[in-house]
Amino acid sequence: MFYIFYSIYLLVSFFFVVNGRLSFAPPHDKDQIWLVKIPLVYSIIEKEFPTVDLLEQHEQFVYVCLIPRLYLDKFKHYVLYHHGTYKIIVSNVAEWNLKINKRRQKRSLSAYNNPLDSIYLERFLDYEEQQNWQNLLTKSSLTKNYVKLHPIGFTYENRTLTVVQISTKLNRLSKKKRAGVWIDAGMHAREWLSMGVANYIIIRLLTLKNENKKVKDVLKHFDFYILPMVNPDGYEYSRQTDRLWRRNRSPTIYSDFWIPHKSCSYGVDLNRNFPFEWDTYAGSRSPCQETYRGQLPASEAEVKNIIQFLTNKKEEDNDQFDPHRSMRVYFNLHTYGRYWLLPWSYTKHLKPNDFNSMLNRSAEAIKTMSTTMNNNSSYHNNNQTDEMDCSVGFFAGEERITLDGNEIFGGVIHYLWSLMRDSYRRMPI
C-alpha cells in the first residue's frame, strides 16, 4: 500500500487582457536563469526553495538555476547570506524562449535520400523528422540490411516510441542469444542535445561498421537498441511552447482545475518513475516540482513500454518478445553536465556486485573520451568524484551534436570493447 503525501505550494497566475480577452502570460514570464556559486550542496538549497529548478551543475557548488519571478529577491538574499555569488544569464526566460523559436531554421530534409548524411547531425530533429529519418534507415541500400525498427508502444499523446536496432547479423539465422546494448536519450524533454548524440551514435555505428576495427569487433558481439526520443510529447512541447519543459505531458491530479502553464497540471519526471526503489529515491511527491515521480511506480506509458521491451518476457500481450535478445548494458544519455554516472543513485551505502569492474571500465572510457576531444570529463560514483571543468547542457547549440557525439561514442565503444577484451580474451590490449 502506498501513502502519497503532496506538498501544496501557493502559485500566483499572471494574466493580461488582449483585445478584450483574458490571456495568461507565457510560460516563465520574467523568470530568470542564474549562474550561482554558493558553498552548499544543492539538496539543502532545494529544501529551502523547492520551486527553484536546477538546470545544470558545473563544478562543485556551481549551479545554473531557473528562478521563478516571485522568488528572485528572496533567493538573492539567500545566496548572499551564505557568502555566495550569482550572475544573471537570462533576464526573462519567456522572451529568451521566443527568440530561440524565431532563430530556429526550418530546413526541409525531404531531398536527402542518404540517411547517413551529415545534415541529420546539423539540427535538432523534431518528432516527425526523427520518425521519417528512422524509416529511411530501413529503406536505404546503405543501411537497410543492418537496421530494424521496433515500435514498442505509445505515449500519452499517442506518439510512437521507436527503438532502432543495429546489428551486423540481422538477417542471419542463429539459435544463440545476442548480447544487447540499450541506449536511450531525451528522457527529459529540454535535453535536446542528448537526442542529437543518440542519432550521432546511430550514424557512426553504421558508417564505421566495416571501417573501424574496434567498432567492427564490438558489432560482432553486440546488437544495439537505441531509443533516441524517450519523451517525444515533452520534447515537442519544449520546442513549441516552453524550451525548459522537463517532464512528459500526462495530466496530474491537478490538471482539471489547476492554473494553465504551471507544471502542477501536467507531467511526470520519467527518470524517477521506474519501479526500482521508487519509494526510496529522491523523487518528489508533489506534482508542482520538476522531479515529480508520479502517483505510482511505472504509471507512465513511456516507462511501461521501456520496461516491457527490456525485460523481454514471453507474455500474451508482449508482441516485442525476442528469444534471441539478452540485454547486457544500459546507457542513459542526459545533458545535465559531462558526468559518467554509475549505480546506485538511491543510496550511498550499497553497490552492485560488479561495481569495481564498472568503475575501472568507466575510468578507461573517460580517458578515451578526453583523448578524443582534448576535453576533460568526469565520472561519478556515490562515494567519490573525479570532477573537472566542463559546461554543456540546455544552452548547447546544434554544433555540439558532432563534438559531444564524437566524445561519447568513443567512450561507449571503448567500454564495450573492454568488456569483450576481458570476457573473451581475444582482443589485443
- Give the ranges where 241-374 is alpha helix by DSSP (H): 301-311, 355-373
How remote is the C-alpha of 333 from its chain's centroid?
Answer: 5
**Under a CB-based contact definition with an 8 Å cutoff, are residues 59 and 387 in contact?**
yes
Identify the active-site residue in 236, 387, 398, 399: 387
AA identity, residue 106: K
3-state SS assignment for residue 85: strand
Does 290 participate in catalysis according to the annotation? no
Peptide bond into 96 cis (omega under 30): no
SS3 content of the chain, % helix, strand, coil (to 5): 30, 20, 50
Kind of pairing between the strands at 385-386 and 325-332 = unpaired
Euclidean distance between CA atoms 255 and 140, whole angstroms: 44
Count other C-beta atoms under 10 Å from residue 368's C-beta. 20
Kind of pairing between the strands at 178-184 and 222-227 = parallel
Count other C-beta atoms under 10 Å from residue 74's C-beta. 13
Nearest to 368 by CA among 336, 404, 408, 341: 408
Euclidean distance between CA atoms 299 and 302, whole angstroms: 9
- Give the ranges where 293-354 is alpha helix by DSSP (H): 301-311
Kind of pairing between the strands at 160-166 and 222-227 = antiparallel
How remote is the C-alpha of 135 from its chain's centroid?
Answer: 22
3-state SS assignment for residue 56: strand
And the C-alpha cell for 216? 567492427
Nearest to 405 by CA among 222, 193, 232: 193
And the C-alpha cell for 404? 559531444
Q: Which residues are catalytic?
A: 387
